[in-house]
A = this chain, B = another copy of it.
Amino acid sequence: MASVTIREVADLAGVSIKTVSRILNDEPYVTEITRKKVNDAIQQLGYVASMPARRLASGQSYTIGLIFHNASWHYIQDVQMNVMETANKYGYSVLLHPCDITNQNHAHEIMNMVHQKQVDGFIFTPPSDNASELIQKLKVMQFPFVRLTPMDRESQLPFVTATDYQGALDMTKYLIELGHKRIAYVIGPQEQRAAHDRFAGYKDALLSAGYLFDPETMIQGDDHFESGYAASMSLISLDDRPTAIFCNNDEMAAGAMSAVFETGMNVPKDISIAGFDNIPLSKQVWPPLTTVDQPIAKIAKKATKHLVALLRGEELECLHCEIPTRLVIRKSTAQNFH
């Protein structure tokens, strides 16, 4: 188990350890001949460089910290997989850090990761920026980070997001085209920027169609299934029942559907239901959900590329990126005949 070191490779190849190091790091100014000698020695000894040694000597961790909040499981996982894939491609590892912004230790734990030299930069998922003292601190230190769909849009800080406003606008217009006049809305958590943008898109679509926005048909949700179920139940019991319910996310939309079936009614015949996100669940319920695709994979990949660019001191393509959403029409919505 005593693994082979750069020293042994150097001895076998008959060069200095510095030369071996040059080859490991793809530095220029090495003759083909010595390069071959060293590579042969590496091959022969099965040498692999020690990461801890590398990190200590270079002062870099070659690691990205991904700070995620207890939001939707699928969102987190999709972000995670794509951040990892992209980071690995650029030679970076990913250190996951689950957290809870209501926790007093939140900022402290993150600063510890910095001081322990565990990470070179961060990617924050929403609602990351409500801990804004932390964000300001990192900014002042010039410690690199990229945020996903942050609440504030301070111009100097990079972020990546989706066209949430446009997505909700598209969906609402589509429902209006189907003849729905009373379209209820289940709004998402107030600490999420996306919840505000989506709601604004919904509201603007209503207004531009000349409809009134009725606060009675707007219900606060928390993005979980049960919350969509409860919202739907109370909307169903209204005297002037809505003919469509648009939810801030798919999970609540699935809950809303269950409530409709529970009361003996049918989706989409009696009530149309629409979600947002296009997570796998949206295809696994019956009828499959009409929704808006949130390009999580693209967002995560772009954010990672941007962080890597920052770490390398390169220029960003765009400081603030918006990735387009897309209307996905399935079977939970139908023409309104009421």
Contacts and interface: CB of A to CB of B under 8 A. Distances in A.
A96 interface: yes
Interface string A114-135: 0111100000000000000000
A44 to B, nearest CB: 15
A217 to B, nearest CB: 23
A207 interface: no
B283 A257 contact: no
A84 interface: yes
Contacts of A49: 116
Contact of A117 (B50, B85, B95, B254): B50
Nearest to A56: B52
Interface string A58-102: 000100000000000110110001001100000001111010000
Nearest to A116: B51
Contacts of A118: 51, 93
B116 A98 contact: no
Nearest to A50: B117
A258 B286 contact: yes
Contact of A52 (B3, B61, B254, B255): B61
A306 B142 CA distance: 41
Contact of A3 (B115, B254, B255): B115
Contacts of A55: 52, 55-56
Interface of A: 1, 3, 46, 48-53, 55-56, 61, 73-74, 76-77, 81, 84-85, 93-96, 98, 112, 115-118, 141-143, 225, 251, 254-255, 257-258, 261-262, 280-281, 283-288
11 contacts: A1-B143, A48-B112, A50-B56, A50-B116, A85-B98, A254-B285, A258-B286, A258-B288, A261-B287, A284-B285, A285-B285
Give me the 6 closest cross-chain CB pairs, A-B, nearest first: A48-B115, A52-B55, A52-B56, A258-B286, A51-B116, A261-B286
